Amino acid sequence: MTQTSSSTAPARGPVDHDVRDQIVAAATEHFSRYGYSKTTVSDLAKAIGFSKAYIYKFFESKQAIGEMICANCLAEIEADVCQAVSEATLPPDKLRRIFKVITEASLRLFFQDRKLFEIAASAATEDWQAVVEYDARMRQLLLDVLQEGRQSGDFERKTPLDETVTSIHLVMRPFRNPLLLQHSMEGSEEAPALLASLVLRSLSP
């Protein structure tokens, strides 16, 4: 039912790629000011100064543009998290940073900087491809840190690894998913650190 990024018209060359980027940048700006659901492709075309037909040459629907914006937004969060993890040496420290930075970056991207909440909420409600892939990559990052910690002897090895990953991924969900995060703002200062400590206690060998 839902469109995936892969179903958008593929870029046909460096120039086409530039135009696509230009449309996405303008649309990001426009949506974050005027909202996603209320804006039509016609409104967007008018605001960017392109014809509607020209935009449709690059994106088959408004959702295809929304998906690209969403994917970019999630990529920014992911980059922040990966950067924070790479700056730590010990697996417990890496885990703490995942909790902290995923919350901070999500709050910033979804609610403050760009006000992209509306797109992020649609994406999360309808399980857009970009969200599914992002969740899978966040899960993989967690798995890597857990495996590293099991090898270094920092984390216990009795619980099946798959169960450990799934349950920690669940604990993080209210701070990763924008639909839950909107109702978790109040505790978003202390909660991630408290939860990271609880998770680390659950991992002690």
Binding site for a copy of itself (CB under 8 A): 124, 156, 159, 163-164, 166-168, 170-171, 173-174, 177, 179-180, 183-184, 187, 191, 194-195, 197-199, 201-203
Which residue number, 50 or 175, has a Cβ lying nearer to a copy of itself? Answer: 175
Task: Tell the burial category of 98 from Cβ atoms under 10 Å away from its Cβ (0-12, 13-18, 19+).
Answer: buried
Nearest CB to a copy of itself, comparing residues 51 and 197:
197
CB of 28 to a copy of itself, least distance (A): 25
CB burial readout 120-159, b (16+ within 10 A) else e: bbbbbeeebbbbeebbeebeebbbebbeebbeeebbeeee
Shortest spacing between CB 189 and a copy of itself, in angstroms: 12
Shortest spacing between CB 205 and a copy of itself, in angstroms: 11
**Cβ of 30: how many Cβ atoms within 10 Å?**
18
User: What tokens does 81 get?
Assistant: 């998290």
Distance CA 118, CA 40 (A): 14
Our CB check for a copy of itself shows the closer of 9 and 185 to be: 185
Q: Which is nearer to a copy of itself, 72 or 184 (CB)?
A: 184
